[in-house]
Amino acid sequence: MASNMATTGGASSPSPQRIQCGSAPPTRWPSAAPGRSTSGTLWLRACSALWLQARCNSRSGSSVAFGGGVASSAFIPPTVCQPSPKCRPVPRQTNLIRLRPAMPPADAHRRPIVLVLGPTAGGKTSLSIELARRLPGGGTCLGADSMQVYRGMDIGTAKPTLEEQAAAPHELFDLVEPDGPPFTVADWLEAAEASIATVRHAGRWPVVVGGTNLYVQNLLYGMDAPAPTDPVLRATLDAMSDADLRSRLEKEAPEDANRIHANDRRRTIRALERAAAEMGSPTPSRAWDGPPREDFVAIGLDWPVESINRRINARVKAMATDGLLDEVRALHEANRLGRQAREALGYREIVDHLEGRCSAAEAFERIKIGTRRFAKQQRTWLRRFKILPRTIWLPAEGKTTPELASEAEKHIFSTYGGSTDPTE
């Protein structure tokens, strides 16, 4: 790989153009350093990638500047800062590093997406960070969790802590406010593809941490076609009571009933419409029918059911100790929990307590039960993922994270055809 050189400065060097987090792309990109050619599209593409890095990777604490004939990049551990409506701003640094796009390794575009799969509370976060630290050139952890995209929802979603995020770059966390418009699968997929491209351009490995298996499915197979709307069926469903809708959902789409709150009428109706569309078609359109993309390898963590249930109970107990009740209370009192965020597992139960429908002890017991039920529903998805090509499932019981990472590395490089030696 081309080596990075520190800035030396000089009268002939142009001043760097600094890109602020959350800003629009510059209308005019800076010129290359004196004596360097700007022919072709390489410089423009490199500048574009760095702008995306500045815009989308604010949580990593990186700072980005263009121009000045410089070539260096570094990961700076994040610092605590106040969120803005768009993103977490990058704190001003006194020792900012000026950047000129460094040439990525020749095979950077071939580096596969590394998927880390497994049940909730199964140690995916720890393994993803360990892999990001070990892989030659480094990796960036990309979140694939539908609730970890919300700012301020940290404890209840088991979001990586600030200490964990300081151990390796993280993206696709804290993307939106919880009281904003609904965040869709399509929204996440667009952000994920942009992050994957940026990470690869920087010569790093995209390590996608599965949390919402629907996100992973659409990343691998593409977006599934939405269920067509039948106006007659919609009118019938609209006329039904919430209790009747719930009863019908439990019969026709039990998996959806496990993840949709009984009071979420909109999502219940859409789930029933999807179920009706699939039952009415001899060959329903499913994303699983086609081949997955080829640029990935996957590592799954396999746990006995009893072990996962114990880990879930321990996690919920730790959430209570870490202040989940106070976190939800602050969001609730500030009216920051939108309709979608309010239905997150662990939040709706605490809201029920805050609104007087159950005690705190009952709320946390419901969280345990709901999370164990969610893990059971996850196993249906994970069985489908077990037949994916380029995938290995590692028995995780009794193994340390470094031991699992060593096995995962062997699989990655035996499949990828690369080497664990970063000098090669």
The last residue of one of the domains, among 103, 125, 157, is 103
Top pLDDT among 274 and 301 is at 301
The reply to whether 302 and 395 lie within a common domain is yes
The reply to whether 393 and 380 lie within a common domain is yes
Are the CB atoms for 159 and 185 separated by under 8 Å? no
The reply to whether 144 and 180 lie within a common domain is yes
Q: What is the CATH number of the domain that holds 390?
A: 3.40.50.300
297 pLDDT tier (thresholds 50, 70, 90): very high
The proportion of the chain whose per-residue pLDDT surpasses 90, expressed as a percent, equals 50
Top pLDDT among 219 and 29 is at 219
pLDDT tens per residue, range 342-386: 989 999 999 999 999 999 999 999 999 999 999 998 888 898 899
- The pLDDT of 24-30, averaged and rounded, is 42
Spatial separation of the C-alpha atoms in residues 305 and 331, rounded to whole Å: 33
Structure-block tokens of residue 171: 């993206």
The reply to whether 33 and 139 lie within a common domain is no
Residue 109: per-residue pLDDT: 62
The last residue of one of the domains, among 39, 72, 103, is 103
Residue-number span of the structural domain to which 69 is assigned:
1-103
DSSP string, 1-37: -PPPB-----TTSPPPEEPPTTPPPPSSPPPPPTT--
Q: For the chain, what is the radius of gyration of the CA atoms?
A: 23
The last residue of one of the domains, among 241, 270, 285, is 285
Asked if the model's pLDDT at residue 278 lies above 90, the reply is: no
The reply to whether 82 and 123 lie within a common domain is no
Residue 1: per-residue pLDDT: 43
Domain count, the chain: 3
3-state secondary structure 50-92: HHHHHHHCHHHCCCCEECCCCECCCCCCCCCCCCCCCCCCCCC
pLDDT tens per residue, range 237-265: 989 999 899 889 888 877 677 668 778 88
180 pLDDT tier (thresholds 50, 70, 90): very high
- The pLDDT of 288-313, averaged and rounded, is 93
54 pLDDT tier (thresholds 50, 70, 90): very low
Sign of CA dihedral 279, 280, 283, 288: negative
DSSP bridge pairs for 296: 113
pTM of the model: 0.66
Please count the residues of the chain. Answer: 424
Asked if the model's pLDDT at residue 6 lies above 60, the reply is: no
Spatial separation of the C-alpha atoms in residues 420 and 405, rounded to whole Å: 12
H or E stretch at 311? helix 305-322
The reply to whether 159 and 302 lie within a common domain is yes
The reply to whether 48 and 120 lie within a common domain is no
Top pLDDT among 378 and 177 is at 177
- The pLDDT of 25-47, averaged and rounded, is 40
Mean residue pLDDT of the chain comes to 77
User: What is the dihedral angle through the alpha carbons of 176, 178, 182, 183, rounded to the nearest 10 degrees?
Assistant: 40
Strands 65-66, 17-18: pairing kind: antiparallel
The reply to whether 260 and 275 lie within a common domain is yes
Spatial separation of the C-alpha atoms in residues 208 and 128, rounded to whole Å: 8
The reply to whether 87 and 203 lie within a common domain is no
The reply to whether 248 and 394 lie within a common domain is no
The reply to whether 72 and 6 lie within a common domain is yes
The reply to whether 29 and 121 lie within a common domain is no
